[in-house]
Structure 1
Amino acid sequence: MSVRCEGARFAYRDKFVKELYEDIAQLILGESISASNVEYRLRMLAYSNSEETRAYWRFHGDGLGIPDSAYKSNPPYLFPEQEPVRIFKTSMTTGTRAGWIPYSAQGMELMDLSIVRNAGLHIMHGLNEPAVIRLVPSEQSAPTMVMAYGMELIARRFGHPGLSDCVLSDSGVDLSLLRRLLDGAVAEQRPVIMIGATSIFVNLSQSLKKLGCSWELPAGSRLVDAGGHKLSRQVTVDEIRTMAADVFDIEPGPAGHLNLFGMTELASQLYDAEDTPVGPSGERPKGSETFVRAQVRATSDLSILRHGIGLLEVVDLCVLDRPCGLLTGDWGLSDPAGTAIIGRVEQGRPRGCSLLLDQIASEGGRHA
């Protein structure tokens, strides 16, 4: 897809940007908008407004996803004349500094639309005001963590106001609060959505089992495993489901468990498409929406792979403030059912929010 248009530059308040923003919003909401046309204009915007992106595409080919490592050095923010309204940060990894991801007001609005739309389609279907229990810090305590922001947005939009809360702080999991929320949901027979990083859920389940704590959560309760795990060994999907069933009586099949993939550099998340294990740890293939897709590139020549293992690339049409394609540091497995995400290219260097989450998660919890 050639997008070169030398000499043009688009200001934040240009008609081109306003119309592109409006079309992306309609695309997210399911209206009949051409996704390919939106993608073309997003790439034109990135090529026109970012000298670094132009140089990168001239060398590697138009449209190749920007490596996530670029956001730890010189992030390509496309509207330097517009002060960002929000900045999210990626965690520091060994030998690197934290990356920063700035958002304009329109960029934030599109991310909000995408998060809510995706959650409605994949997490909340069939549920009315479930108790949304977040295994992440609150947005107030972690204002630069995109996972905290997104999960709080989901809880505000869909959750029961009296039984939804985050249970993780810098002291660990607040077991007293967790018990109160779960007991309240059981008393009201209100389904529970437990959502957070894999490592937090695994450590919490192990601790609760040692303490002899368990619940029979109401029908429709679900575990939403948001990845970001940094454990001594890879935990399989079936092991996570067994933990959820043992401690919380959450159905061990796809109705009770789903995995999502997100990154600070992205505005949208990817969800399991179907319950077919294709990865080495039982990873399920991620599906695509009209506004976000995952694909796999060969390590040899960066061509798109229809089958097999390569570098994971995500094209997120909800991203307005930076190039919409992201070449991640993850391995992807291309399968007819979708793209399974099967681990980091560089072992031991977790992505995004996972480092901070692992620092504040304890093997046990905070007893009150």
Structure 2
Amino acid sequence: MTHADPAAPGIAPDLLADLLAFIATPQAAAKADTDADAAFNALALRLFAHQFQHNAAFRRYCQQQGKTARTVRHWRDIPAVPINAFKDLTLSCVPPDQCERVFMTSGTTRGDVKGRHYHPHLQVYDLSMRRHFAERVMRGVPRMRMGIVFPTEAMMPNSSLAHYLALAKTHFGTDDSAYFVGPDGLDADALRDTLLDVVQKGEPYALLGASYSLVHAMDALREQGVSVKLPPGSRLFDTGGFKGQSRELAMDDFYNQLTEMFGVPAEWCINMYGMTELSTQFYDDGNATLPAIKSGPHWIRSRTVDPMTGQDVPKGERGVLTHCDLANFNSVTTILTEDVGITVDGGFLLLGRAEGAQAKGCSMAVDAFLQAARA
């Protein structure tokens, strides 16, 4: 049973308790519940009312759109906030100085301008991560030895990914799990020695990091003439793309190289799709077939929309991904991304960044939001 901290700032205790309880519901039970959509919708509307009341920038935008707690009756009707708005406005229901943590984007799209996501506390974020990671990455294994090719949380305190990977190591890693990135960069010798050790012992191993970090790891091991075949049950985890931090690889080439270097089949190469502006992550079930279907847990819903109109595109057609994440209790639940996808049975296909008319539509949505929110 997950209990809410009654002293936690930023949200009514009963709403926080209900949100935590909803996230804690086992996935199988949630999916089998005929009232699951109704329960999601009811909680989304309560969060919308809370954010409409306490998030001033969001309220002004909603009013400009004619959307209020009285007129919004379904989660699909909650106005979607363009993801770039996190770079220009403070989207928080509590004052930023009362927040336990601020996660910041990498700033790769607009130079040094970083989006900020304010968290009054990390109860919801951490529970969201642990519940879904256990199902989609661990797949029934309570703990296993892990290696992390990404900086520690102490090195990057404003990185949501650094915090995410710290949670993975703390809650799912064995005591001999380790980081391989320090102040001086990648410790390729320690990584090599660890990989050879787990191969000799025959114990399953999980190697986790940003996609570009794994490219650096492969390049460093290749320079040493090292490749391994990790024991059965091992898995590789990547996220975030390359972001100009490493050589760029096509997806099929990337996963082929991972398999060749580490001996892990593509179906155990798991990609996580997440973003600083969300509090929940999406996963695939391996990358044997590309593009792999991404899906989330029962506390997040996704749509593909025409950014010019905000309306859903027909299933099977390309649109811009929009996510309604109940774990985003302090900012805004509903985000218009700049990622193109196709809705399919079981989730969506992620196809890349918006271009052309879709990118223009995203830009116009940002302008409309900023104009209304600053009025």
TM-score, normalised with respect to structure 2: 0.80
State yes or no: 1:98 paired with 2:93.
no
Displacement after TM superposition at 1:234 (Å): 5.7
Deviates more, 1:23-32 or 1:259-268: 23-32
State yes or no: 1:271 paired with 2:286.
no
Which residue of the partner structure matches residue 42 of structure 1?
47
Which residue of the partner structure matches residue 333 of structure 1?
342
State yes or no: 1:343 paired with 2:352.
yes
Which runs of 5 or more structure 2 residues have no equivalent in the other structure?
Answer: 1-6, 31-35, 68-77, 360-375
Asked if the contact 2:146–2:207 (Cα under 8 Å) also holds between the matched residues in 1, the reply is yes
Compared CA separation, residues 333 and 154, structure 1 to 2 (3 A): same
Asked if the contact 2:99–2:119 (Cα under 8 Å) also holds between the matched residues in 1, the reply is yes
- Per-residue CA distance 1:259-298 (angstroms, 9 max, x = gap): 1111111111011167684xxxx22121132111222111
Which runs of 5 or more structure 1 residues have no equivalent in the other structure?
Answer: 1-10, 350-368
What secondary structure sits across from 2:328 in the alignment? coil
Counting aligned pairs with the same residue, the percent is 26
Q: In the TM superposition, what are the counterparts of 1:212-361 in structure 2 within 5 Å?
A: 212-231=225-244, 235-252=249-266, 254=267, 256-272=268-284, 277=289, 282-305=290-313, 306-345=315-354
Asked if the contact 1:88–1:101 (Cα under 8 Å) also holds between the matched residues in 2, the reply is yes
Deviates more, 1:175-184 or 1:144-153: 175-184
Asked if the contact 1:287–1:293 (Cα under 8 Å) also holds between the matched residues in 2, the reply is no
AA at the equivalent of 2:298: T
Asked if the contact 2:91–2:117 (Cα under 8 Å) also holds between the matched residues in 1, the reply is no
AA at the equivalent of 2:132: N
Deviates more, 1:81-90 or 1:310-319: 81-90
State yes or no: 1:28 paired with 2:23.
yes
AA at the equivalent of 2:167: L
Compared CA separation, residues 125 and 161, structure 1 to 2 (3 A): same
Normalized per residue, the structure richer in helix is: 2
Compared CA separation, residues 209 and 342, structure 1 to 2 (3 A): same
Asked if the contact 1:285–1:340 (Cα under 8 Å) also holds between the matched residues in 2, the reply is yes
AA at the equivalent of 1:143: P
Q: Distance in 2 between matches of 1:335 and 1:274?
A: 17
Which residue of the partner structure matches residue 87 of structure 1?
102
AA at the equivalent of 2:305: R
Q: CA RMSD in A?
A: 2.6
Aligned residues: 328
Q: Distance in 2 between matches of 1:294 and 1:307?
A: 14
Displacement after TM superposition at 1:110 (Å): 0.6
Asked if the contact 2:284–2:294 (Cα under 8 Å) also holds between the matched residues in 1, the reply is yes
Q: In the TM superposition, what are the counterparts of 1:180-195 in structure 2 within 5 Å?
A: 180-195=193-208
TM-score, normalised with respect to structure 1: 0.81
Q: In the TM superposition, what are the counterparts of 1:82-231 in structure 2 within 5 Å?
A: 83-92=98-107, 93-95=109-111, 97-105=113-121, 108-162=122-176, 164-231=177-244
